[in-house]
C-alpha cells in the first residue's frame, strides 16, 4: 500500500436480523470526523476525484455496490476496489485520488477530518507532482549530515508510515515504549515535532542511503545552559547494512557535539536489551546508573573527540 494510505477493517455485527457496522473515534477511526458526505448515482463511464489534499485525512467506504479508487504519489500508483461496507480506505495528506468504475448501486461514503476548505485542494496534476516530489522524495530533501555511506535529513510527515512499520515490528520494537498505531496521530505528532525543531528544542532524523530509508534517531531534552542532551528513539530496519548503525551514531554525535556544542550526551536502554548495550559500550558510552528497568549511559565531548580521532574519522 502507498505511503499515507491503508485499508481499515470495521467489525461487522452480523446475526439473523442483518448487519451492523459501527465506526467510532478513536476505537476504529483514527481521526475526529468534521465532515461526512456520500457519492451515488454515478454513471459507470464517469470518473471523479482528480485532486489531492494538503492536510486532510479521509476514509472512503463503499456502503453499497463497488467503486475503484486509483491512488498515486509522484512515483507510485495503486488501484483499490472497495466493495465491502465493513472495509474502508484511509487516505492521508498528499495522495492523488481518482474514483472510477462505479457500479449502478454504488454509494461511496466519505469521512473527513476537516470541514470543506478549497485552499486545501490541489487540483492541477502538474502542481501536485511538483509538491509531491518535495513531500515524498529523499532526493529533494535537505541533507543535514552525511557520512561515507549515509545521508541524514530531518523527519517529515511523509515518514510516518515507515516510522510506524519499524516501531510496530515485533522484533525491532521489543524494547521500545508502546507506540500508537494511528497513522493520523503519527503524522500530527511529526507536525508538532517540527515546531520544536524550528525552535531548536528537539531534532528527529532519518538515515538513508542510495538504496532507500534505513532508520531513525532523535536528539531531545536539550539543556542549552548545561550543554547536555539525550540521544534516543534509535531504530534501524531489519537486515540493514553493517555501516548503518555506526555511521548513524557518529553523525548523531557530530551534530550534538559540533553543531549544538554540547558537552555531554545521555541515553538510556532497557536492562534486557543486550544487543543495544553492547553496541553503546563498544561505541564508547560509559554506564553511569541503572534501575530495575533501564541502564543509563553518557558520553562526554572530550571522550568523543578522542574516539573520533582514533576510530571514527574515516567513516565520514
CA distances from 78 to 1, 23, 68, 134 (A): 7, 25, 10, 20
- Where is average pLDDT lowest: 55-59, 103-107, 162-166, 266-270? 162-166
What pLDDT does residue 174 have? 83
What pLDDT does residue 99 have? 97
pLDDT digits (tens, 9 = 90+) for 216-241: 999 999 999 999 999 999 999 999 99
pLDDT digits (tens, 9 = 90+) for 267-290: 999 999 999 999 999 999 999 999
pLDDT digits (tens, 9 = 90+) for 244-263: 999 999 999 999 999 999 99
pLDDT, greater one: 107 or 29 = 107
Averaged pLDDT, 5-14: 94
What pLDDT does residue 253 have? 97
* Rounded Cα distance, 294 and 4, in Å: 34
Q: Assess whether 51 carries a catalytic annotation.
A: yes
Mean pLDDT of all residues in the chain? 93
Residue 260 sits at the vertex; the CA angle it makes with 259 and 262, to the nearest 5 degrees, is 120
pLDDT, greater one: 137 or 161 = 161
Strand spans (E) along the chain: 5-9, 12-15, 18-21, 35-40, 48-53, 58-64, 67-72, 77-82, 87-91, 96-100, 107-112, 121-122, 145-146, 151-154, 203-209, 212-223, 228-236, 264-270, 286-290, 294-300
What pLDDT does residue 134 have? 83
Averaged pLDDT, 79-91: 97
Q: Looking at the predicted structure, is the pLDDT value of residue 139 above 70? A: no
What pLDDT does residue 297 have? 98
Q: Looking at the predicted structure, is the pLDDT value of residue 265 above 90? A: yes
The verdict on whether omega for the bond into residue 4 sits within 30 degrees of 0, i.e. cis, is no
Q: Looking at the predicted structure, is the pLDDT value of residue 17 above 90? A: yes
Q: Looking at the predicted structure, is the pLDDT value of residue 81 above 70? A: yes
Averaged pLDDT, 92-101: 96
What pLDDT does residue 142 have? 83
pLDDT digits (tens, 9 = 90+) for 150-159: 999 999 888 9
Q: Looking at the predicted structure, is the pLDDT value of residue 180 above 80? A: no
Q: Looking at the predicted structure, is the pLDDT value of residue 168 above 70? A: yes
Averaged pLDDT, 284-299: 97
* Rounded Cα distance, 19 and 189, in Å: 36
- Where is average pLDDT lowest: 86-90, 143-147, 164-168? 164-168
Q: How many angstroms from the chain centroid is the CA of residue 147? A: 23
Quickly state the pLDDT bin for 161 (edges 50, 70, 90).
Answer: confident
Cell of 40: 451515488
What pLDDT does residue 140 have? 62
Amino acid at each position: 500500500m502507498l505511503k499515507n494510505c491503508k485499508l481499515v477493517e470495521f467489525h461487522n455485527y452480523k446475526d439473523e436480523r442483518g448487519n451492523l457496522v459501527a465506526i467510532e473515534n478513536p476505537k476504529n477511526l483514527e481521526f475526529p470526523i468534521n465532515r461526512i458526505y456520500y457519492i451515488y448515482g454515478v454513471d459507470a463511464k464517469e470518473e471523479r476525484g482528480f485532486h489531492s489534499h494538503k492536510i486532510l485525512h479521509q476514509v472512503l467506504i463503499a456502503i453499497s455496490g463497488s467503486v475503484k479508487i486509483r491512488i498515486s504519489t509522484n512515483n507510485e500508483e495503486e488501484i483499490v476496489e472497495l466493495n465491502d461496507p465493513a472495509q474502508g480506505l484511509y487516505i492521508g495528506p498528499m495522495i492523488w485520488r481518482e474514483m472510477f468504475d462505479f457500479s449502478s448501486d454504488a454509494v461511496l461514503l466519505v469521512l473527513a477530518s476537516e470541514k470543506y476548505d478549497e485552499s486545501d485542494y490541489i487540483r492541477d496534476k502538474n502542481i501536485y507532482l511538483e509538491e509531491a516530489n518535495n513531500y515524498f522524495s529523499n532526493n529533494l530533501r535537505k541533507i543535514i549530515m552525511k557520512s561515507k555511506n549515509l545521508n541524514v535529513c530531518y523527519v517529515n510527515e511523509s515518514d510516518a508510515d515507515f516510522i510506524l512499520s519499524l516501531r510496530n515490528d515485533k522484533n525491532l520494537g521489543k524494547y521500545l515504549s508502546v507506540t500508537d498505531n494511528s497513522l493520523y496521530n503519527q503524522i500530527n505528532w511529526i507536525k508538532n515535532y517540527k515546531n520544536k525543531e524550528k525552535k531548536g528544542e528537539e531534532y528527529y532524523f532519518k538515515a538513508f542511503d542510495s538504496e532507500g530509508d534505513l532508520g531513525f534517531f532523535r536528539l531531545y531534552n536539550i539543556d542549552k545552559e548545561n550543554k547536555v542532551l539525550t540521544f534516543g528513539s534509535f531504530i534501524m530496519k531489519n537486515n540493514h547494512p553493517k555501516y548503518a548503525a555506526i555511521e548513524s551514531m557518529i553523525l548523531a554525535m557530530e551534530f550534538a557535539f559540533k553543531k549544538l556544542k554540547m558537552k555531554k550526551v545521555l541515553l538510556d536502554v532497557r536492562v534486557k536489551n543486550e544487543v543495544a548495550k553492547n553496541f553503546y559500550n563498544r561505541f564508547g558510552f560509559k554506564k553511569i546508573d541503572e534501575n530495575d528497568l533501564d541502564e543509563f549511559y553518557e558520553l562526554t565531548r572530550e571522550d568523543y573527540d578522542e574516539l573520533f580521532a582514533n576510530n571514527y574519522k574515516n567513516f565520514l
